[in-house]
């Protein structure tokens, strides 16, 4: 323990009044720390980016607001920005993929922002990943047509709102783990994603791993870990 905590402490960059970047995380865990931008000021995000400039690892800024993007692109001019996923990545090109393929499903068109956040996170963390859209259970033939493709994946991310029923159905068809991301898509008794969350936690098919509502980043991270070489 000593060695590790000492090394990590040395690695931590000096932004002491607002943050202590966990730059040792890539070494310790194999995956770098992401910067969760919600609730941070533009200035805070920019200062954090400045420290990351000289670092060798991938930097992901999640849930970025428009004004934060502007500030980030001043510090990291060639960073990649995906507006739908609200993600800024640097360096802009994902690493060469290793490990097994990951498939990301969006139950409906409205689930795309979350699904894309998962997709891009998985790619920037080093896996090959593809996206399939609008395969909700109201028209079951759409997901059934994907079964052969589903069975090639090492990990499957399923983003779904409303009834959140898709992960149960998918998990019953494949051997790979299904990472279920409830989305806040819906209204009324969807309770901002709570209904889908509960559905997924109670999936009658085993093999469903649930993450927080709208947490595309977390789903993509898990997929990258599960499909690691």
Residues 139-198 that bind its own copies (CB under 8 A): 139-142, 144-145, 147, 161-165, 168-169, 171-177, 179, 182, 184-198
List helix spans (H) across 31-97.
42-52, 66-75
| Residue 126 interacting with its own copies (CB under 8 A) | no
Closer to its own copies by Cβ: residue 53 or 198 = 198
Q: How far is the CB of 186 from its own copies (least distance, A)?
A: 6
Helices (H), 76-215: 112-124, 141-144, 147-150, 166-171, 194-201
- Please tell me the distance from the alpha carbon of residue 67 to that of residue 128, in angstroms, as a whole number: 31
State the nearest-atom distance from the C-beta of 165 to its own copies, in Å: 4
In the bound state with its own copies, the residue whose beta carbon lies nearer, of 88 and 226, is: 226
Query: Cα angle at 48 between 43 and 50, to 5 degrees?
Result: 95
What are residue 225's phi and psi, to 5 degrees?
-65, -45
Q: Is 17 in the site for its own copies (CB under 8 A)?
A: yes
Residue (79 or 226) nearer to its own copies, CB: 226
Q: Nearer to its own copies by C-beta: 78 or 188?
A: 188
């Amino acid at each position: 323990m000593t060695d590790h905590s000492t090394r990590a402490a040395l690695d931590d960059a000096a932004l002491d009044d607002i943050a202590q970047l966990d730059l040792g995380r890539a070494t310790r865990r194999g995956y770098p720390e992401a910067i969760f931008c919600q609730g941070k000021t533009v200035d805070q995000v920019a200062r954090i980016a400045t420290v990351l400039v000289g670092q060798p690892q991938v930097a992901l800024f999640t849930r970025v607001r428009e004004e934060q993007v502007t500030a980030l692109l001043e510090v990291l001019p060639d960073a990649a920005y995906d507006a739908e996923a609200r993600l800024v990545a640097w360096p802009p090109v994902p690493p060469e993929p290793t490990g097994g393929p990951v498939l990301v499903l969006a139950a409906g068109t409205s689930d795309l922002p979350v699904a894309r956040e998962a997709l891009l996170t998985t790619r920037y963390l080093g896996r090959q990943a593809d996206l399939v859209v609008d395969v909700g259970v109201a028209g079951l033939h759409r997901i059934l047509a994907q079964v052969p493709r589903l069975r090639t994946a090492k990990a499957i991310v399923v983003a779904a709102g409303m009834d959140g029923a898709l992960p149960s159905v998918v998990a019953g068809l494949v051997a790979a783990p299904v990472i279920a991301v409830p989305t806040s898509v819906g209204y009324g008794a969807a309770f901002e994603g709570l209904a889908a969350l509960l559905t997924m936690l109670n999936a009658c098919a085993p093999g469903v791993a649930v993450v927080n509502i709208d947490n595309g980043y977390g789903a993509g991270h898990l997929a990258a870990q599960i499909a690691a070489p």
